[in-house]
Amino acid sequence: MILVTGGAGFIGANFVLDWISLVGEPVVNLDKLTYAGNLETLSVLSGDPRHIFVRGDICDRGLVESLLEEHRPRAIVHFAAESHVDRSIHGPADFIRTNIDGTFALLEAARLYWSNLAAEHKAAFRFLHVSTDEVYGSLRPGDPAFTEAHPFEPNSPYSASKAASDHLVRAWYHTYGLPVLTTNCSNNYGPYHFPEKLIPLMITNALAGKPLPVYGDGMQIRDWLYVKDHCSAIRRVLEAGRLGETYNVGGWNEKPNIEIVHTICSLLDEIKSDLAGSYRRLVTHVTDRPGHDRRYAIDARKLERELGWKPAETFETGIRKTVQWYLANPQWVANVQSGAYREWISKNYEERQ
């Protein structure tokens, strides 16, 4: 079996669902269930003996050690993190704790477990760390996309904490020989995405007739990948990645934010037209994010060349599926828009002009 951390969050839950249905190998899923973790996403697995959910904190090394001893996984896939840049600006402490201290605790527990494995299991064991392209910093127009050799230049508390965790993972390979792999992926989108991030926020706000808050001029560029393509890349790296290597994951889909918002409006106009007129009428430019990275772009050719991975979705097919998923799942959206969600929305948006 494998141990997944953060498997009740957006990408982790998509990974667990796909893993159980495509690979079928049992998963121990360790998740603290912060505001971003949601067991409802995993409800189709209830009663399935291949999914063992444990509510707990990756910073709790004793807990992780006992889970490893009890379940004896052949790999750890580490998603658990605080992941939202705006939240990291309002309150960086949780990011330092989970992303840095938590990864450190996990590495130490993994090292203890791995060092006591029999030679054959020791050689087969993997620690896969899921990271982000944001560790590389921001690109200027015309700069080539980030390769794995790009220096780390993180600019937000979120990206700085992820960069620190990437460095720890690297050091545990070089110093202790722990068999690690790291993936650095671009922005994901798709089903079960918490509606604090750009794409699900715009879809859910539009459907509720609320303003669509575009930060600054909306010309910041992100490189978008459908979440299930990220999950297939992680499976591939876990299977065949070279130890100690980092692999960029992306789909060559650079888009300015305003174009994303317009695309969502056009899809909604087509699928669920509003008598009041195009959803574009709701677009509202608001005060920019402090230190806002202008452009991310991922060069994923190493993953393609070495491991033969390619995304299955284009942006056009993926965004259509995503909009359709939100239209088909209003109850999931309503359930995650709890009191705590409403508090965050007022904190982040009410003070913006």
Report the alpha-carbon angle 98-338-293, nearest 5. Answer: 50
Residue with tokens 């005060």: 287
State which residue, 1 or 286, has the beta carbon closest to ligand TYD. 286
Q: Of 158, 173, 226, 326, which residue is the catalytic one?
A: 158
Non-local (6+) Cβ contacts of 323 within 8 A are 203, 264, 267, 268, 271
The stretch near ligand NAD (CB under 6 A) out of 68-76, 127-135, 263-271, 316-324 is 127-135
103's contact among ligand NAD, ligand TYD, none, with CB below 5 to 8 A by partner kind, is: none
Give the Cα separation of 35 and 349 in Å (integer): 18
**Residues 210, 8, 48, 333, Cα dihedral to 10°:** -10
Tokens at 91, concatenated: 């309150």
193 binds ligand TYD (CB under 6 A): no
Q: Of 31, 101, 134, 254, which residue is the catalytic one?
A: 134
Nearest distance in Å: CB 36, ligand NAD = 3
Q: Of 57, 82, 101, 133, which residue is the catalytic one?
A: 133
Neighbour tally for 106: CB within 10 Å: 27
Query: Would residue 254 show up in a list of annotated catalytic residues for this protein?
Result: no
113's contact among ligand TYD, ligand NAD, none, with CB below 5 to 8 A by partner kind, is: none
The stretch near ligand NAD (CB under 6 A) out of 30-38, 67-75, 268-276, 343-351 is 30-38
257 binds ligand TYD (CB under 6 A): yes
Query: Would residue 40 show up in a list of annotated catalytic residues for this protein?
Result: no
Indicate which single residue of 29, 34, 187, 246 sits in contact with ligand TYD (rule: CB under 6 A): 187
Query: Would residue 134 show up in a list of annotated catalytic residues for this protein?
Result: yes
The stretch near ligand NAD (CB under 6 A) out of 52-60, 64-72, 119-127, 294-302 is 52-60
**DSSP annotation of 146:** B
DSSP bridge partners of 254 = 223
Are the CB atoms for 211 and 205 separated by under 8 Å? Answer: yes
**DSSP annotation of 43:** G
The stretch near ligand NAD (CB under 6 A) out of 6-14, 45-53, 286-294, 325-333 is 6-14
Give the Cα separation of 295 and 349 in Å (integer): 22
188's contact among ligand NAD, ligand TYD, none, with CB below 5 to 8 A by partner kind, is: ligand NAD
163's contact among ligand NAD, ligand TYD, none, with CB below 5 to 8 A by partner kind, is: none
Strand order in the sheet with 51-55: 51-55, 27-31, 2-5, 75-78, 126-132, 180-185, 246-249
> Which residues are tagged catalytic?
133-134, 158
Return residues touching ligand TYD (CB under 6 A): 85, 187, 197-198, 201, 213-215, 220, 222, 257, 289
